[in-house]
Amino acid sequence: MTVTAIVGANWGDEGKGKIIDVLAAASAYVVRFQGGSNAGHTIINDYGKFSLHLLPSGVFCSGVTNVIGPGTALDVEVLKGELEELVSRGVPVPRLRISERVQIMLPVQRLFDELEEERLGANGFGSTKRGIAPFYADKYMKLGIQAADLFDQPRLLERLQHLLAAKNVLLEHLYGQPPIRPETWLDQLREQAEWLAPYLCDTTELLHTAWRNGEEILLEGQLGALRDPDHGIYPFSTSSSTLAGFAAVGAGLPPYAITKVTAVIKAYSSCVGAGPFVTELHGEEGNELRRRGGDAGEYGATTGRPRRMGWFDAVATRYGCKVQGATEAALTNLDVLGYLDEIPVCIGYELAGGKVTDQFPATGQLESAKPVWQRLPGWKCDISQVRRFADLPEAAREYIRFVEASAGVRVATISVGPRREQIIMAQDAGGGLI
């Protein structure tokens, strides 16, 4: 049995939720290892359409234990709301375990996120204002509150006082806001502790035991490689590592436990948030792709903002698969491209001064880069009912081979629609995939 990390090859929005939903049926555990409620995974199944922000994407599969690992930013109110929505819509109560070491999102972190984005104005980073950057800043400044702290009132009050000492200075003198007294939150945090108590455990020991027993474990990443703070389009990045290399840390497993890394690649490009996006489309061309993308168009699962749209970027995808350490890829939304006579793909960047490169440069060079295009033939038909690689139109098969050659990794899974059953697996490829 294997431990598999499922991560994004690009900016996020690649369709990871569907791939995890498909693979979770054969798994014992699905683990969120980083990020918070600032991004979502959209899943469509027999229960309906869902956007999950904190719950792992295995919650629709009976028998799966869903784990929120210590690397996650846990917004308790968001998590409660997600669980209540599932139950209200007829989904069986999922089996959920939460690390006692996970840190809790606090109201002041959301407040700081909103205030800072407002202060930056046009120079902002496109934050979702869910408190993520202040949360991780506090975590690494050793100011955070672990879930276990909620059950020790004297320690909790001391931790809150320590956290708010510097923040109150900024609230008053930078943002013009009144200071916060730590006692203000104690009743709310006491209620959160009571709600969390049945779910909390030592998830590190839980997962180590499962791994030693050979049980199948999926590690679920949020966003994609290009939003990683070390290897992505910094400073237009998220605040926790989006790479499979961090999955072991954020879940609590040894690094050598991960034997498979599935990088999810979209058949075209999209992203939510600010930052350089070389293949971005504007006007009607981008609007048409957005309207056709996915089940209800390309809009952020968390914010509802229209996604920025672009054609497939071979440079960014190859780089994303490389830094993810991908051992295989899953290609999503292939069916969306069926309306095109020809499909533009970006095979290189023209940098300032006219130099052309097929390597992904640092952010400063990306901001002025222009795409170098190649055009591939379209297949001009609906492929959403196809379930075997051999039954795809030849142009669609060639497009998949182009993606494989560009990414340098074998495509093992192909999604041809938003629903769970709209999938082509490698064993159905008829030898066509490299």
Average pLDDT value for residue range 412-423: 92
Indicate which residue of 13, 75, 149, 313 is catalytic.
13
Q: Does residue 13 have an active-site annotation?
A: yes
Active site residue 295: no
What 8-state DSSP symbol labels residue 12?
S
The pLDDT tens digits for 56-84 are 989 998 899 999 999 999 999 999 999 99
Residue-wise over 199-230: b if at least 16 C-beta within 10 A, else e?
Answer: bbeebbebbeebbeeebbbbbbbbbbbbbbbe
Catalytic residue among 21, 41, 149, 335: 41
Angle separating helix axes 132-140 and 107-120, nearest 10 degrees: 120
pLDDT digits (tens, 9 = 90+) for 265-288: 999 999 888 899 999 999 899 899
Q: Length of the chain in residues, anyone?
A: 434
Query: pLDDT tens digit string along 298-333?
Result: 765 555 678 899 999 999 999 999 999 999 999 999
For the chain, the distance separating the N- and C-terminal CA atoms, rounded to the nearest angstrom, is 23
What DSSP state is assigned to residue 299? B
Residue 153 has pLDDT above 70, yes or no: yes
What pLDDT does residue 29 have?
Answer: 97
Q: Please provide the DSSP assignment of 197-237 as one string.
A: GGGEE-HHHHHHHHHHTT--EEEEEEEEGGG-TTTSSTTSS
CB-CB contact of 361 with 349 (8 Å): yes
Q: What is the Cα–Cα distance from 403 to 384, expressed in whole angstroms?
A: 19
**Which phi and psi (to 5°) does residue 65 adopt?**
-95, 120
Distance separating alpha carbons of residues 317 and 306, to the nearest angstrom: 22
For the whole prediction, is pTM greater than 0.75?
yes
